[in-house]
Amino acid sequence: MRPLARFRPQLVLVALGLVLGCSDAGAPMSPKPAPTPDPSLIGVVQGLLGVTKIVTNLVDNLLVCTLQLPQQNSATIGPNGGKISFGPHSLVIPKGALQANTRITAQAIRGYHARVEFQPTGLQFDVPATVTLSYAQCTVPKGPAQVVYMKSDTTVTEREPSHDYRDQRWVSASIRHFSSYAVAY
């Protein structure tokens, strides 16, 4: 589901209310300078009208990509470590990171961001694992690409110390727990 789709009726009503609420029936008909539009409202209206792709998290600077298709892979990884590749992304769990064999699922999420989720949610590592995310199908970031931790579809919670391999268009970071991660700048 597109991130703003569930709020579309409410957003249309808010936008319509803002447009209608801007008229002043008692005022003379003299020309007035146009108010400076709120850029966030413009983005919402454009997204609702289909003029642009829905772009969430502008505040958090998530990279915008062509539509990313879901890709998934699972493996059982134990105390000796291992690697899972899923689409253009990978997860390397080093020796000593896990105490016991654990079934791990890595999934690239469908959408307009390079975003991945790992299961089981909340899994902690004794030694940090390394996630490598491709942004080859995304806009070139304005600054160094970073891996960010997300608690939900819309909230960036942490910016992970990352290494941007700009020539290859991928970024890697050490992670200590599982959840959802994305590429930002």
User: What fold, for 71-184?
Assistant: Chondroitinase Ac; Chain A, domain 3 (2.60.220)
- Cα distances from 44 to residues 13, 52, 61, 144, in angstroms, run 12, 10, 16, 27
Tens of pLDDT, residue by residue over 104-148, are: 999 999 999 999 999 999 899 999 999 999 999 999 888 899 999
**What percent of the chain has a predicted confidence (pLDDT) above 90?**
58
Q: Is the pLDDT of residue 12 over 90?
A: no
Taking the whole predicted model, whether its pTM rises above 0.85 is answered as: no
Q: Is the pLDDT of residue 97 over 90?
A: yes
Going by pLDDT thresholds of 50, 70 and 90, the confidence category of residue 60 is low
Tell me the C-alpha distance between 100 and 14, whole Å.
Answer: 52
Question: Where in the chain are the domains?
Answer: 5-49, 71-184
What confidence score (pLDDT) does residue 54 get?
Answer: 36
Q: Mean of the pLDDT values across residues 16-43?
A: 44
Cα 148 to the center of its chain, rounded Å = 8
| Contact of 131 with 89, CB cutoff 8 Å | yes
Q: Is the dihedral of CA 142, 145, 150, 156 positive or negative?
A: negative
pLDDT averaged over every residue in the chain: 78
Tens of pLDDT, residue by residue over 141-168, are: 888 999 999 876 668 889 999 999 999 9
Q: Is the pLDDT of residue 21 over 80?
A: no
Q: Mean of the pLDDT values across residues 23-39?
A: 44
What confidence score (pLDDT) does residue 127 get?
Answer: 97
What confidence score (pLDDT) does residue 10 get?
Answer: 52
Q: Is the dihedral of CA 143, 145, 149, 153 positive or negative?
A: positive
